[in-house]
Amino acid sequence: MSSSLESSNPTPRTRVVRLPQRGVYDRDAVNQILNEALLCHVGFVADAQPFVIPMSYGRDGDTLYIHGSPASRMLRHLEQGVPVCITVTLVDGLVLARAISNHSMNYRSVVILGTATLVDDPAEKLAALRAISEHIIPHRWDDSRQPNEKELKATSVLRLPINEFSAKVRVGPPMDEEEDYSFPTWAGVIPLEMTAGAAIPDGRCEQELPAYLKNYSRKKKS
């Protein structure tokens, strides 16, 4: 599936209301955030109760895929076409202002609204699982044993078109009141980023560390 890079017209549900200047509706910018993050949070209502579940995901063009056990409460409801809200957040820094009320974070976040539907086609299901695997660790799918029929039956995959979405981004230094700039305390930004440590082999592993794991980083995903 190819991904269009045009800006989206926000809907009343996705338009950023608080601090609207931080709203981003460009599909390419949203895709970059989705590519870098590892987990999403899936919000839905089941049995008149709200739930928010953290999940891994994968993106193929303008489609987001999530997966799990068919026996899970979420999958039992979502496969019926229940509306969902999926969020992804990256924290890029702690913003320390002079006034406590002006402390903040630099962040990039995405909200996607829609209806997730069950993937029935075996070929699409396999491609979706590959997309999820490759999203987490590129090149790992071809370097691993492929799922067998029993494993595929024990896994449900849902698709969500990335049609109704928005991002919200904060960058830059603290924004203090003019009279606070003379207050004698340190102010600025403490950058944060996700970094991978050195790989630890399984005690029974006899293979050398593959090249795609030696410099693993979320930042290199584009």
- CATH number for the domain including 76? 2.30.110.10
Q: What is the pLDDT of residue 74?
A: 78
> CA of 10: how far to CAs of 6, 16, 132, 206, 208, in Å?
12, 8, 27, 52, 48
Q: What is the pLDDT of residue 112?
A: 98
15 lies in a domain?
Answer: no
Q: What is the pLDDT of residue 7?
A: 57
183 lies in a domain?
Answer: no
- CB neighbour burial string for 86-117, b if at least 16 within 10 angstroms, e if fewer: bbbbbebbebbbbeeeeebebbbbbbbbbebe
Q: What is the pLDDT of residue 26?
A: 94
**Confidence (pTM):** 0.90
The CA distance from 126 to 129, in Å, is 5
26 lies in a domain?
Answer: yes
Could you give the number of structural domains in the chain? 1
Dihedral over Cα of 88, 196, 133, 67: its sign = negative
Instruction: Enumerate residues 6+ apart whose C-beta is below 8 A from 93.
Output: 105, 106, 189, 190, 191, 192
14 lies in a domain?
Answer: no
Q: What is the pLDDT of residue 71?
A: 80
| Domain assignment of residue 66, given as a range | 20-173+206-214
85 lies in a domain?
Answer: yes
188 lies in a domain?
Answer: no
76 lies in a domain?
Answer: yes
Q: What is the pLDDT along the chain (222 residues), one digit of tens a residue?
A: 333 334 568 999 999 999 999 999 999 999 999 999 999 999 998 888 999 999 999 999 999 999 988 888 777 777 778 899 999 999 999 999 999 999 999 999 999 999 999 999 999 999 999 999 999 999 999 999 999 999 999 999 999 999 999 999 999 999 999 999 999 999 999 999 999 999 999 999 999 999 999 989 988 554
